[in-house]
Structure 1
Amino acid sequence: MSSPSSEAKGDHESGTTLSQISPQVSPSEHSSDSPYVDSEAPKSVEGMPFSDFVIENDELHDYESQTAVKRHMDPRVILDLTTMSLVIAGIVTLFLGYPLIRFAGKPKADTKGGFNLGGTNATGQVPNMRDMRFALIDPDTPQDLLTKMSVDGSQEMQLVFSDEFNTDGRSFYPGDDPFWTAVDLWPWPTGDFEWYSPEAVTTKDGSLVITADQVETNNLNFRSGQLTSWNQFCFTGGYIETRIQLPGSSSVSGWWPAVWTMGNLGRANYGATTQGTWPYAYDACDRGTLRNQTDPDGLGPIGALRSGDTVFNNKYDTTSISWQPGQRLSACTCPGEDHPGPKDSSGNFVGRSAPEIDIIEAQVSNGIGGVSQSGQWMPANYGYELINTTGTEYEFFQPSAQLNSYQGNVLQQSASGVVNTRQTAYQYSGGDFSVYGFEYKAGFDGYIHWISDGQRSWSLSSGALAADDRVGISRRPVPQEPMYILINLAISSGFGFIDWANLEFPGKMLIDYVRVYQPKGQINIGCDPEDFPTQAYINRHIEAYTNPNLTIWGGTAAQGGYQQDWPRNRLYPDGCTNPASKYPGPNPAAAAA
């Protein structure tokens, strides 16, 4: 948005002209007895009339002599004026010319994502703070780590972003850092027991430190932190790596530490922005975009109505595969609707969303520490089952690695592999660190390779996300959206059993570094790339992206709604001609009721 400007205007008034007045006094105005008039004034001097009397050398009164005087300027005056001119010119140059010259010579910031108002910060939140760096690559990153080979060793990758967290006492309150922001909110979507506060996030002894403790905050019993690079730093494709010390003990369950990524169109814990965008990764116009992943009438296909009968859906008392409202920014969006774009060669919108790929979510099972490394998807396969026709659509590379028994529920399909961690890389169990990450190629021919303890743990190819006729959906791409980074430490019974009796406080999660690499010649960083733009859409709906109390996109204020119209989907009967609605689906009145 451009800031309003005003122009100061003023009128020049003409000053009053003062005439020169030469008072003339005639002798007749004075009486002879006036004390100021000499009645005996001489009439002549030595025979000359008084009017002809001139004092010698009195050029002031000799008008003829004055006309002959040569007018000239003293050299000292010239020198003084020259000096004053130089001083004035110097002042003008210093306070006006230099800023203009400096501004004109300054490189214009790229408008792609993390390179607009703030140089590297898409929000423009860049204060003047001592020791703050703005380069994407941390100067503390060792020179021999500026490049590395891909996971399969087939190509060299170059470092495009790093943070070594070597400066102690960094602040991550909004606006305090060009790359990261610590949020201040309750993560209600996962029913957490903690409040995320910037107070819980800092740097010390060369690591990022997130502390979870028993500090009552905003009516919750615990305080912890979440750090994100949303709308500040994003990347598409490549390899992200981090070195982590997990909180607590490797044998006590209860902590939920996670390092993960998400598409920039959805801001985590800002429900209005994630409704209908998370965790979709879809660019087809079919029933996969519709509410509950069913036909427009809601009566089929049978796979969508029955294959959700899993143990993880028991609490929902349903057999449906999806309770999602539909993909809000789908490839079926009607012309003229509010959509971030772009359009494909046929003039239809590209399907947009907020997909998720997790580096880790740590858990303890049967007294052994492990991590889930996953991607979250919608629409879902039949029964949430990944396709593995050839047996190579997903593979495992560590002895303890295996497919997670949890594969999804009515809100998401989870392609998750679990693997045991290094048992000494915990706060109270050795104090070591361990390396985790993933490499991915975006698109319909993409893949994801996950890393645990510095080694590949498992891989997923795009073949596992192929079309599934049983539920009538098309193939899904490996996420193509610009992805931002999230780091958090939570406490929630929604992720696993909490052993309150043995859980030690405070819990501390330490991050030694975060580094992002991309193949040479394929650099794609920024939160607003041309083929998957986000900034203009975010700006149009900035309230939804900055108010965590807005929990749904449409609805009413009483429902916590942002009260915006849902983009119309052309697959519904009269979809593009129906009146606008603040609810998804074919029957807004029924949905509202």
Structure 2
Amino acid sequence: MLFLAALWSSPSYDFPVAAAASQKEYPTESGIRAWVDPATPANAQQITTSRGERWQLVMSDEFNTVNRSFRPGDDHLWTSLEKPDGVNGALEVYSHNMTSTKCDDDGTCYFYIEAVDDVSEITVYNSYLNPPQYENVSFFYRAGMVQSWNKFCYQGGLMEVRAQLPGALSKNSGNPDLALGNSGRVTSGSYYPTWPGIWMMGNLGRAIFSASTSRMWPFSYNKCEPDIFDPTNQRISACDDDPGYGLNQNQGRGAPEIDILEGGGVAISSSLQIAPGMPSEFRLFPAEKKYDAENMYCVYQYNCETPGANLIDIPTAYYEKERGHKSWYQGLRYASNNFCGPSADEKQDIDTIKASLKAGITDNTCTVETCPASLDPNSNLELIDGVGSDYWGINSNGTCFPVMNSYMGSYLCDPDNTDEKCLEPRNATTPKSNSMEPFNYQMDAISANWPVHLGAYTDYFVYQVEWVTGENGYVRWVGAGQPLFEVTAEAFSVVPMNDKKNNPQKLMLEEPMSIIFNVALSRSWGAAPPNPGRECRGDGTDETVNKICDEFPMFLKIDYIRLYQDPKGNRGKDDYMQVGCDPASHPTREWIQGHLDEYEDFDNPWTEVVGKGFCETDNDCTIGKNGSRKLVTGKCVESRCVCSYPDSWGGPRCTIALAEESTGTGSITQRTYGPSMTISLSVAIVSLLSTFIAAWMSVQTLKKQADEAIRTAEAKKLEQLRPSFPTSMKLSLSEYETPQPKDNYSQNFL
């Protein structure tokens, strides 16, 4: 009977998968990977990276099935939200019915988020009021957000998304950009009033659930340096010897962010967001009232009169005199969007720009002749990838060129904080609300705004982000195969320093990240709808505005999303290159389970999904054979996997063994899985009962032992989920009884 004990011993898996410690993933019988859509074409199974490496497909969604529902529990990969947006001056409510999939008459199938003008008033809880209380807030639009949070995450890889951005694009809209053709530069920003986003965030935070992101977003910091950064501002700090919840001791954690794209209008922003940010002596000089009293937001037009308030390290001599050290992140890489038509007035050559930088820039701003096209004097000016004739930072073609974003981050505070850097510091005479743990810290947005061509709105365009973790890592943004922006790990680790040595060094982002699609509308950003803060048409007397508002609904469309990784998997101690939301290197599962109320609310429960991956045959939904024996863990039903034993076998293809318990003596390993082991026992009983009655009795004994092992394992897991330190209940009775979101509507965390 030895084969029963070893029947489902671990076969090798040929790709990096980071499963939870209590789970193990097995290959499918057909060979298709767990997260790959079988509709992905054969010629898209591999890709060559910017460094010339050949990576393989590990996740895809072609969105070829119409009318998909993304409500909690309905999809293996995505979850939609029913929730008002509470960040960045949002004007919209997210709803389940604003997102699905469809196919056009020409056969193009796609995921979509619909944005409509729709007025609603919602009662929300605002922790930043004093005292914190519910308030009625008006929203003027309805749109959608879809997340892979806690379902699919990855650490490193090449993400590719083919998308079409929303805008007022019909002949009746009056949009003057339409006359320019697809290569024309978008110039009429008011015709692109939405704020679409395709982005990733660390799984320890859930977008717009601000209780989960407080003191978590966007940390990428793994040092215990109390003299440089107060560790109480980071919820999971490297100073913590015993963080509990299955976390690794002395490992700083957080929920950093990578934006493939966000925004709209005349430019798209590609960025990463991290904390802790640089201190003020490494940032732009703020605009001063004695120079710019009438335009304190002059930095966004680069026309401040205040010295040093437009661009980092410009004027050169002024910064050197005032600081004596460099500022901001060094060696960032920018390159042209050559899908725009060229302009002779914007062409540059490398020799002229290098000579200007060497001599020093004397003006308080930049020109085409004096600065890199990025407006970043500290940017990289080497040959792109060391080949060809194009240089980082130089607009040799005169096409659209990314510029350093004037928005460099925010100073985040709890509502009781009195620090003058806070957006609204508490007056010393105002009593504390004690609504949340205290914090105040700077976060940084390392971002490039790249002018966009009309084709990004009228047609599909391929966006890529290539992300490698570790000390040799980088994040590179690419448009249809052409590099646009890159941040290397060295930019985080070799930062400018002053005599106080107080500029914290961060990690290249390495958290397991989930994926987010959304369309927002905001009064705070460059792309805003007409009459922000009111109904779209206002009083209805402006015909231009009326035509724009008549263009609603507007749609973000995504043809496909694909993720590629190095098949060698973990390539070094800090180069992870794996999929999974709960890897041993960066656990998240027990923390989330221990704080689940911060990640869900009444309308958005966390629902774990078993099966439902897309399939073509039953073999796409079951584990492979072990020798001549086969255990069927799932079947393909109406093109989606249905797991036969959902308490024991999960994942999108029913290939993750749940509640695994391992014991071993010498080279023999026994694993038990509940019902799946029962099946294997039953098969053996049927085949051996007629001649091995005694063996049958032994099997029953083994089954009892296996069941006991499972109960013991589950008891251990439940014990581990308990926090290793006492917690306190701070909810009042009324809060406990009210099924309303406890997160803060107005808090600007994302």
Q: TM-score range by the shorter chain?
A: 0.5 to 0.7
What does 1:94-243 align with in structure 2 at a 5 Å threshold?
112=18, 135-153=34-52, 155-205=53-103, 206-217=109-120, 219=122, 220-243=139-162
**Kept in 2: contact 1:359–1:437 (CA 8 A):** yes
- What residue is the counterpart of 1:81 in the other structure? none
Q: Distance in 2 between matches of 1:393 and 1:285?
A: 35
Question: Identity percentage over the alignment?
Answer: 32
Q: Which amino acid aligns with 1:423?
A: L
Q: Distance in 2 between matches of 1:561 and 1:277?
A: 24
- What residue is the counterpart of 2:274 in the other structure? 377
- What residue is the counterpart of 1:388 in the other structure? 330
Tell me the TM-score normalised to structure 1 length: 0.61
**Kept in 2: contact 1:373–1:450 (CA 8 A):** yes
**Kept in 1: contact 2:473–2:488 (CA 8 A):** yes
Report whether the alignment pairs 1:507 with 2:554: yes
Instruction: Tell me the alpha carbon deviations over residues 385-432 of structure 1, each in whole angstroms, 9 at most, x when there is no partner.
Output: 533267439954874122112212214211001112231231xxx3x1
Instruction: Tell me the alpha carbon deviations over residues 213-251 of structure 1, each in whole angstroms, 9 at most, x when there is no partner.
Output: 123456333211001000100010111110110001453
Q: What is the Cα deviation at residue 340 of structure 1?
A: 4.8
Matching residue within 553, 556, 563 for 1:516 = 563
Classify the secondary structure of the residue corresponding to 2:60.
strand
- What residue is the counterpart of 1:567 in the other structure? none
Instruction: Tell me the alpha carbon deviations over residues 482-510 of structure 1, each in whole angstroms, 9 at most, x when there is no partner.
Output: 01100000001122252412343111100
- What residue is the counterpart of 1:405 in the other structure? 406
Matching residue within 215, 223, 247 for 1:276 = 215
Q: What is the Cα deviation at residue 280 of structure 1?
A: 0.8
Structure 1: gaps spanning 5 or more residues? 1-100, 121-132, 294-324, 344-348, 563-593
Q: Distance in 2 between matches of 1:554 and 1:376?
A: 31
Q: Distance in 2 between matches of 1:118 and 1:193?
A: 43
Q: Using CA pairs under 8 Å that are at least 6 residues apart, name the structure with larger relative contact order, 1 or 2.
A: 2
CA spacing shift, 1:189–1:257, aligned 2, 3 Å: same
Q: Which amino acid aligns with 1:458?
A: F
**Kept in 2: contact 1:228–1:486 (CA 8 A):** yes
Q: Which amino acid aligns with 1:232?
A: K
What does 1:60-99 align with in structure 2 at a 5 Å threshold?
none
CA spacing shift, 1:359–1:111, aligned 2, 3 Å: closer
Report whether the alignment pairs 1:545 with 2:575: no
Q: Distance in 2 between matches of 1:498 and 1:286?
A: 41
Count of matched residue pairs: 400
Q: Distance in 1 between matches of 2:23 and 2:115?
A: 34
Q: Distance in 2 between matches of 1:491 and 1:457?
A: 26
- What residue is the counterpart of 1:440 in the other structure? 467
Classify the secondary structure of the residue corresponding to 1:257.
strand
Report whether the alignment pairs 1:472 with 2:502: yes
Q: Cα RMSD over matched residues?
A: 3.5
Q: Distance in 2 between matches of 1:166 and 1:485?
A: 19
Q: Distance in 2 between matches of 1:289 and 1:267?
A: 28
Q: What is the Cα deviation at residue 191 of structure 1?
A: 3.0
Matching residue within 520, 530, 534 for 2:588 = 534
- What residue is the counterpart of 1:360 in the other structure? 261
Q: Distance in 1 between matches of 2:64 and 2:20?
A: 22
Tell me the TM-score normalised to structure 2 length: 0.49
Q: Which amino acid aligns with 1:231?
A: N
**Kept in 1: contact 2:17–2:25 (CA 8 A):** no
Q: Distance in 1 between matches of 2:155 and 2:116?
A: 35
What does 1:255-334 align with in structure 2 at a 5 Å threshold?
255-287=194-226, 290=229, 326-333=233-240
CA spacing shift, 1:336–1:561, aligned 2, 3 Å: farther
CA spacing shift, 1:519–1:548, aligned 2, 3 Å: farther
**Kept in 2: contact 1:118–1:178 (CA 8 A):** no
Q: Distance in 1 between matches of 2:78 and 2:23?
A: 15
Q: Work out which of the two has the higher radius of gyration on C-alpha atoms and give 1 or 2.
A: 1
Classify the secondary structure of the residue corresponding to 1:189.
coil
**Kept in 2: contact 1:192–1:492 (CA 8 A):** yes
Q: Distance in 2 between matches of 1:268 and 1:526?
A: 18
Q: Distance in 1 between matches of 2:81 and 2:35?
A: 21
Q: Distance in 1 between matches of 2:402 and 2:273?
A: 18
Instruction: Tell me the alpha carbon deviations over residues 122-181 of structure 1, each in whole angstroms, 9 at most, x when there is no partner.
Output: xxxxxxxxxxx994111111101100100232x111110000101111000000001110
Q: Distance in 2 between matches of 1:545 and 1:499?
A: 30
- What residue is the counterpart of 2:353 in the other structure? none
Q: Which amino acid aligns with 1:419?
A: W
Matching residue within 513, 519, 524 for 1:483 = 513
Q: What is the Cα deviation at residue 521 of structure 1?
A: 0.5
Q: Distance in 1 between matches of 2:264 and 2:728?
A: 36
CA spacing shift, 1:217–1:391, aligned 2, 3 Å: closer
Q: What is the Cα deviation at residue 380 of structure 1?
A: 1.0
**Kept in 2: contact 1:397–1:458 (CA 8 A):** no
